[in-house]
């Protein structure tokens, strides 16, 4: 079993992805349960969002630079999550044997 911290991180990762893609909540939950790499992406998104929110407390001379960096990171992670969800939604078609 994971530690309480791991459990909290995972929950925030799931929440971050679901918040970003609310219409895909059930797909996110299913993929989150079975795919460790997807869980990692979701956890990274949650961490990047937290870092973005924390930029509000930075000194003014660093705030904008860090904010832009984290906004870009959040967008990239969200795009990657969206691509993974799209790929997971595609079912391969089987070909019938040639006669």
The span from the CA of 58 to the CA of 26, in Å, is 36
Over residues 34-56, the mean pLDDT reads 96
What is the per-residue pLDDT across 5-27, written as a single tens digit (0 to 9) for each?
A: 344 445 799 999 999 999 999 99
pLDDT of the residue at 6: 41
For the entire predicted model, the pTM comes to 0.79
pLDDT of the residue at 99: 58
DSSP states along 32-44: HHH-HHHHHHHHH
The span from the CA of 66 to the CA of 42, in Å, is 21
């Amino acid at each position: 079993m994971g530690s309480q911290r791991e459990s909290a991180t995972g929950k925030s990762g799931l929440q971050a992805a679901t918040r970003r893609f609310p219409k895909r909540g059930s797909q996110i939950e299913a993929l989150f349960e079975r795919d460790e790499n997807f869980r990692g992406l979701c956890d990274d998104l949650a961490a990047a969002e937290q870092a973005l929110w924390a930029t509000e407390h930075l000194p003014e001379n660093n705030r904008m630079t860090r904010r832009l960096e984290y906004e870009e990171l959040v967008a990239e992670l969200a795009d990657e999550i969206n691509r993974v969800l799209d790929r997971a939604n595609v079912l391969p078609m089987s070909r019938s044997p040639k006669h």
